[in-house]
Amino acid sequence: MVEEKNKYPHPRGTLIRAFVEDLHIKRADIRRAAYEDRAIAGLKDGYTEKEFLSLSKCLLGRQVDGRVIGQEQALRTRLDMLLMHCMLLRSETTRDAELSDFESIPLTNEGPEDAFAVIMRQRGGKTKDRKDGSTNRKTHYHGFLRHKNTFLCPVGALAQWFFYRWEITRETPPDFRSRESWYQLPLLPKALKTPGEGLSSETQGDWIRRVFEEVDISSTKLLHTFRKSSARAMDLKEVPLDQVSLMVSKLLLITDKWARYVAQGDGNQVR
């Protein structure tokens, strides 16, 4: 189909489209007859700014499931959620992030004090094959700044995580004289006892689900909640649409009801 060698018509013709539409109608009738909660996947699906603050405080307090959780799991999950929230990242982006993907750049003329931004390099996202056999895989850059609220500051969460790893647990710190010793170390390992093993989607999702339940947050898109809720928060603050669309790349998801595709140009931009 990509090389235009298939001359047959698309298999999803009139009959298939009518069948799929009939299924949607029947499913809607079933949900209505079963009195399904209509708040599910609605406009309030996800979290508010106040609820996200509760998430951060919950993890700093380390009280989940009615018991005290480990400091490693609490700091790792808090950093994971703050990065996804602040940079509108997919869950696999934070799981795949390595120490060598991060750098800081100074920001001039930003106030009386020196300021800097932390930049994360995304080596590749979702790809789409082109007719010439190449793909649209590009290097993307995401960034975040300090937050005036310490509970919501991703820079502070990153510093706490590094301090815990290399000062508290005594993990061997990176040796900058040897790239092989640290270039492929994940930012969020599955366990600090095995720092070279990355976090799995099951472990990541399980901790986020447990914290959501602790602060009574409901979402049908567990690992994509952060992109959705953060974009919606920007929309409520009247952030221009083109700026939001740059942050969420080619898929702009402000709310379930207002989902739409937006066309973008070059993806090599600091977002």
Model confidence pLDDT, tens digit, residues 225-269:
898 888 888 888 888 877 776 666 543 333 333 333 333 334 333
Average pLDDT over residues 38-52: 80
- Strand, coil or helix: 51: helix
Q: What confidence score (pLDDT) does residue 206 get?
A: 94
User: Are 135 and 7 a contacting pair, CB within 8 Å?
Assistant: no
pLDDT band at 149 (very low <50, low <70, confident <90, very high): very high
Of the listed ranges 34-38, 69-73, 181-185, 258-262, the least confidently predicted one is 258-262
* Mean pLDDT of the residues in the chain: 82
Q: What confidence score (pLDDT) does residue 131 get?
A: 57
Q: What confidence score (pLDDT) does residue 98 get?
A: 95
Q: Say yes or no to pLDDT of 57 above 80.
A: yes
Average pLDDT over residues 30-56: 83
Contacts of 184 (CB under 8 A, 6+ apart): 98, 100, 196
Closest CA relative to residue 188, chosen from 62, 112, 66, 102: 102
Q: Rounded to two decimals, what is the model's pTM? A: 0.76
For residues 48 and 142, give the distance between their C-alpha atoms in angstroms, rounded to a whole number: 23
For residues 237 and 47, give the distance between their C-alpha atoms in angstroms, rounded to a whole number: 15
pLDDT band at 146 (very low <50, low <70, confident <90, very high): very high
> Between these two residues, 206 and 236, which has the higher pLDDT value?
206
Q: What confidence score (pLDDT) does residue 250 get?
A: 40
Q: Say yes or no to pLDDT of 130 above 90.
A: no
Average pLDDT over residues 71-82: 96
Average pLDDT over residues 141-160: 94
pLDDT band at 202 (very low <50, low <70, confident <90, very high): very high
For residues 92 and 201, give the distance between their C-alpha atoms in angstroms, rounded to a whole number: 8
Average pLDDT over residues 128-132: 56
Domains of the chain: 14-261 (1.10.443.10)
User: Are 56 and 152 a contacting pair, CB within 8 Å?
Assistant: yes
Percent residues over pLDDT 70 in the chain: 82
Cα–Cα distance list, 20 to 8, 26, 234 (Å): 21, 10, 35
